[in-house]
Structure 1
Amino acid sequence: TESFPQVTDRSSAEHERGQMRTKVYQLYRTVMMPEIFYPTAFIFILNATPSTGSAWFYFYSSKPPLGLGFTAEFLGTINVVGSVFNLAGVIFFQAFLKRVAFRPILIWGTIVSTVLGLSQLILVFHWNRAYGIPDWFFCLGESAIQSVVGWVATMPIIVMASRLCPDGMEGTMYALIMSVNNLGGIVGSQVGAVLCTYLGVSATNLDKFWLLVFISNASSILPLLLIGWVPAGDPQLAEKLGEDEEERS
């Protein structure tokens, strides 16, 4: 009488493992569909370009002439301004760009972000002072504009991630795509850290900080070479992918 529950439990466990293998296989097959694989790969590559990371903190907080000598309070103010204008970027996208195709927004958003990023060299070389623009004012203005443009360029990725989710796997696929997005950001941070070490940029040495800023921002435009991996428009891909999945099964 004691062996019957054990057999039942073993059978139930095998059934659950079988279901898990089936779901994993279905997820793998779905991810490998060209309609999903290539846009997801583009999202990863777009975020995997090197970032300056903590090097900006060194430049902001170090005392002149090494850095700008900003206080912790002002650095917090920069973050607050950036957060407020992040919301402004989302509102702007929702109001004016939500019906625009993915590619134009990603192309122009990336180009404008790259140009704005390269404009940070003005601050690094203190060229703004020649025109009477204080460092603190330039930083706040740059943070505000970059935040708006950054989120306008980010929103298509979030929308595209939701469009790529086939019926019945919405939650799993969205989580997977956004995890790939976050993984790209982690890779970009690590590449930036390696580049920072290679250039010798540290809290006490900012001689080649300008080169780090240039490389990090200039390289962010390179993923546009693969813009063909992104859907040309905003098709309701969920319905299409659901039909394709039914045909394959």
Structure 2
Amino acid sequence: MINVVASEWLKLRSLRSTSYVLASTLSALALTGFAAFSISRYFDTNGPGEPVGTGLSFSADITPVLFGMLGVLAISGEYSTGMIRLTLTTIRRRWHLLLAKAVVVAAVAAIAGQAVAFGTYFTAQAVVGGRPIGASLSERAALTEVLATGAGSAVAAIAGLGLATILRSTPGALIALVALLLAPTLIERFLPAPWNDWAGSLTIPALTRQLAGVPDSGAFGPSLTTIILTGYVMISLLAAAQAITRRDA
């Protein structure tokens, strides 16, 4: 199993798409910097308004999509080129391949997501300067919000991997990924209270903030949020395992 994980790590880092996706995550820093600058200018002119806080909320919807793309591209390219057949002939248990890919993409997404989260936070605080609209890492809520981002990134990556394994199509998996990530927000608009709050709390950005215990971030507590995020991972992997073991390559 260790050899399979090492092989998948070599594959992932050799893909040009991996570099492109990881480079694209830097857009979160640019967006956060622009938003923090705009709010700071408003503060200087009109006084207190919207707080910047950790700055993570400004790009919260972007990073899950990008790390989900990382998961999609980790396997969809092998299906499109036919290389998946060669891979599956060398690995006796197909679910070993899926598990190895999940470990690799989750680890890369968690580490990169955590790095982007800290970069986003420090970008926001640098723009805010001494204004009382930022957040300090000495505040427990701020630190946990930053630290929880890595977990959300890993979950998004595994969801993307699962969708690509099931659909075997890069465009199809990317469309399904965006639909999956946006579905709770769209459904929320058509539901009465409290169902709308519960639906809106099921997005990965909302779950990440609830996992950190950020006040007023959703309808669920950290414990239930952990179960829901675990459910995302388990459902993605189980559905993908069924697809990869029961169908021909």
Same fold (TM over 0.5): no
Q: Please state which band the TM-score falls in when normalised by the shorter chain.
A: 0.3 to 0.5
Of structures 1 and 2, the one with the larger relative CO (CA 8 A, separation 6+) is: 1
TM-score normalised over the length of structure 1: 0.33
TM-score normalised over the length of structure 2: 0.33
